Amino acid sequence: MILKQTDAFYRGQNYLRLVQGFALEPGMVDLFDKERDGIAICTWIGKNINSVNATINTYLEACHQCFHPQERPHIQIFAVPIAQSFGIDGLCNILTNPITILVDVGRVAPKDWFGIVVHEYAHAHVGDYGHNQQFANILSHLCLGLGLEPPYWETGMEQTLRSWPYCQSTIDPLEFWIGKGSGKVGHGGGSAVLGSPQVEQLPSWGIGHG
């Protein structure tokens, strides 16, 4: 069966190309030009991405409400499939204006999308990529305000903070992006960023959850 390249396909493809420009490097956003499911993925994105982005924008707004208006960073947020070779479920690019948060909503169950947004928002607020005490303080403030378990800073906890709040990884991230996401999760939750050589080679500009 050959899937035709519909208007939805081109909308999805153009969306991926647009968002690619906000990534830390272009290769972080999969364009699926040569992937077996490329047409199905782009078509699904073309039909559904506005709804997904509306959801994560709601989470972004909830984070904003934890701070006074003058303290809220200018942020844009997009759902996008991040290349699986990077092993991350979200990133924050603090070098764009406004700051950009990208979330691969296929990598975690929908109930955990909120946690990824909160983590990346903390990076945006601090304006730094690190998982230091300043990051921990902002993340704790957000978690307390949003009903999530807050971290409490201890020396040497940077590694723990890289995947806080904890998110359960899905078994097949691309299932969501072709409309077959079932919420099935794997046994090794959280972000795989710590062991990802591709991420270690990037400039450390705000990779979060991460």
Q: What pLDDT is recorded for position 173?
A: 87
**Cβ(189)–Cβ(210) under 8 Å?**
no
For residue 117, being part of any structural domain is answered with yes
CATH number of residue 83's parent domain: 3.30.2010.10
Q: What pLDDT is recorded for position 5?
A: 58
For residue 206, being part of any structural domain is answered with no
Amino acid at 162: R
**Cβ(162)–Cβ(204) under 8 Å?**
no
For residue 124, being part of any structural domain is answered with yes
Give the distance, in angstroms, between the CA of residue 11 and the centroid of all CA atoms in the same chain: 21
pLDDT (tens digit per residue) in 117-146: 999 999 999 999 899 999 999 999 999 999
| DSSP symbols for 24-65 | SSGGGB---SS-TTHHHHHHHHHHHHHHHHHHHHHHHHHHHT
For residue 170, give the 3-state DSSP assignment.
Answer: strand
**Cβ(106)–Cβ(181) under 8 Å?**
yes
The whole-angstrom separation of Cα 72 and Cα 84 is 31
Q: What pLDDT is recorded for position 34?
A: 54
For residue 193, being part of any structural domain is answered with yes
More confident residue, 197 or 61: 61
Q: What pLDDT is recorded for position 85?
A: 87
Our count of domains for the chain comes to: 1
The whole-angstrom separation of Cα 96 and Cα 20 is 12
For residue 209, being part of any structural domain is answered with no
State the greatest distance between any 2 C-alpha atoms of the chain, in Å, as a whole number.
56
pLDDT surpasses 60 at 45: yes
Lowest mean pLDDT among 41-55, 120-134, 147-161: 147-161
Q: What is the mean pLDDT of the chain?
A: 83
Range of the domain at 125: 7-200
- Pair of tokens at residue 82: 């991040």
pLDDT surpasses 80 at 2: no
For residue 210, being part of any structural domain is answered with no
For residue 205, being part of any structural domain is answered with no
pLDDT surpasses 70 at 41: yes
pLDDT surpasses 60 at 178: yes
pTM of the model: 0.84
Q: Which runs of consecutive H residues, i.e. helices, occur in the chain?
A: 7-20, 38-64, 113-126, 133-146, 158-161, 173-177, 197-200
Buried b (16+ CB within 10 A) or exposed e, 54-70: eebbebbebbbebbeee
For residue 161, being part of any structural domain is answered with yes
Residue with tokens 């759902």, as numbered in its chain:
79
- The CA-atom distances, in angstroms, between 205 and each of 47, 82, 173 are 32, 16, 24
